[in-house]
Copies of this chain bind each other. A is one copy, B any other.
């Protein structure tokens, strides 16, 4: 188990509950009180469901009580068949979280800055999704059985608009009275292998300080008055996480080696902080590590989530019909 200081440092940027849990449990897989994890495997995906059961668990994992489902599909990139299968799996996991149809719309929100690719996942999902509420308003008798009433919004970011995402979502929520809100956002991972491969679905909304942006006000049931489901995928690792990880790996390996044990003792948090400050000029400087093809990765993720959310909102539609509407309404 890593030092508590290491946890603290890494903790700042751990958006995936599954990574926070693994880090806390460490190599010896200790049980964390108030937290339960179950895992499933399919032929293409590894699914982890973490339930934070009480305040103890919430404190340990640094996030609210609730359910966090992670669907990891390592080979999804540029594989159209896996994109569809993953979309169907996400739909299956999302559907039970949605409230029963009651005539009110679902508000789908894509957080982030479309101009900055790793932060563009949310807006891209919105662009690839299909709003239906106007059909319910304009031609209610022609809406096919099974379609749900959906509205879309991409609030953009504070630096561009002067508006907190919370304000935009709250304002629109008050006007359209949705039965629930589904929020899509880019996440930051602790490990590069999670980038572009791990979809997290949580029934807890979005908590402050998450993501690679700065969405400061919580977007959750407490603040918005309706259930808030959050869905995200890591698109970056913070540069300081990579450096910390490098030093932690050095320390871990030396600790196991009698001859280097002493040297391991010299790798202390202050040393890591000094090196990060030197390389990145200051901590939390906003440098991120991404794969070079993050643009095509993000496009694939947005497609997967758009198909998945469409499927989740439809009782009976085949994948194909859903894909059709998704793909033809967009570039």
Contact = CB atoms under 8 A, between A and B. Distances in A.
Quickly give the copy total for this chain: 4
A247 B158 CA distance: 37
A295 B115 contact: yes
A172 B162 contact: no
A281 B193 contact: yes
Contacts of A254: 266
Interface in A61-120: 78-81, 83, 105, 115-119
A314 interface: no
Nearest to A298: B331
A276 to B, nearest CB: 8
A239 to B, nearest CB: 5
Given A78-B329, A160-B152, A293 B116 contact: yes
Contacts of A132: 162
A197 to B, nearest CB: 12
B176 A167 contact: yes
Interface of A: 78-81, 83, 105, 115-119, 126, 131-134, 149-154, 156, 158-163, 167-168, 170-176, 192-193, 212, 239, 242-243, 245-247, 249-250, 253-254, 260, 262-263, 266-267, 271, 274-276, 278-281, 285-296, 299-300, 303, 320, 323-325, 327-331
24 contacts: A80-B320, A116-B295, A131-B163, A152-B160, A152-B163, A171-B171, A171-B172, A171-B173, A171-B175, A192-B281, A242-B279, A246-B247, A246-B275, A249-B275, A249-B278, A260-B263, A262-B262, A286-B292, A287-B291, A287-B292, A288-B289, A299-B330, A300-B328, A331-B331
